[in-house]
Amino acid sequence: MSDLRLDATQLDRYSRHVIMDEIGPEGQKRLLEGSVLVVGAGGLGSPAIQYLAAAGIGRLGLVDDDVVERSNLQRQIVHSDDDVGRPKVESAADYVAALNPDVDVDTDETRLTPDTVADLVAGYDVVLDASDNFATRYLLNDHCVLTGTALSHGAIYRFEGQVTTFTNDRDDHADEEGSDRPCYRCLFPEAPEPGTVPDCATTGVLGVLPGTVGCIQATEVVKYLLESGELLEGRLLMYDAMDMSFETVDILANPACPVCGDDPAIESVRDGSYEGSCSLSAD
């Protein structure tokens, strides 16, 4: 860790972190030196961006190729009515700048592809996947597994959400039997056929739902950077807003997984298939 010192303004801003034994000044320095790439500045990305910026994550990368629409505002809370028509990354960056001047923001108004993913992810400590399609999820998963980059996954649908964390550290996060932790392909080996999962324009989404799920993702990222607490690695947290219930199920590593298994078929994102944009989350 560098010799970064908290100035008087930072000691005031982060005082509720600094006084906690589990964080303290050293932990806040970790956050200020940390970097997170948020893929998607919509429903899930909005609360994640808010709380990561407020926590003092030193560098945030924002990737999204969409513009703000008025129908987004019911849940995408870093944008306002005045932002309609603006690129989401620009609107979100302005929000962060107004919230916390300690945070440097890099924006990319683009969509992840096998050609761009390496450059976009490079240099970040962890990736927060707030995307709304399977193609991006599988692409991010494969790249993060292959490069050993930590990945926070979240998804929402109508009244339900799910969150898990993949640290992708194949050496340090093996279980007692020595098998590796799972990846997204272990959890969902194949995407549903295009058109079989409706999007939010068809089914709707509870506006506050992505707030809960995105905040949990941000919590996982903060814990990862602090190297503190128990992550959701190897566990899928499922949330039902209508029942106000949470359930956690184990995710098992799949020895036949094509990217993290014993005999992987995907050794480069060039080997994967990422066509289509079947929408899952109501982003």
Amino acid (1-letter code) at residue 12: D
Amino acid (1-letter code) at residue 44: L
Contact 17, 23 (CB under 8 A): yes
DSSP-derived secondary structure letter, 191: P
Contact 60, 53 (CB under 8 A): yes
Residue ranges of alpha helices (H) inside 80-227 are 88-99, 117-121, 134-147, 184-187, 200-203, 209-226
Tokens 């128990």, located at residue: 230
Tokens 């600094």, located at residue: 18
Q: Which pairing describes strands 104-108 and 59-63: parallel, antiparallel, or unpaired?
A: parallel
Q: Which tokens go with 49?
A: 């961006």
Cα separation, 266 vs 44, whole angstroms: 28
Q: Which tokens go with 180?
A: 């590796």
Contact 149, 127 (CB under 8 A): yes
Cα separation, 114 vs 91, whole angstroms: 26
Q: Could you tell me the CA-to-CA distances from 69 to 42, 62, 75, 91, 98 in Å, in that order?
A: 10, 18, 11, 12, 21
Active site residue 200: yes
Count CA atoms within 13 Å of residue 23 on its CB side: 19
Q: Which of 144, 183, 186, 200 is the catalytic position?
A: 200
Cα separation, 32 vs 117, whole angstroms: 24
Query: What positions carry a catalytic annotation?
Result: 200
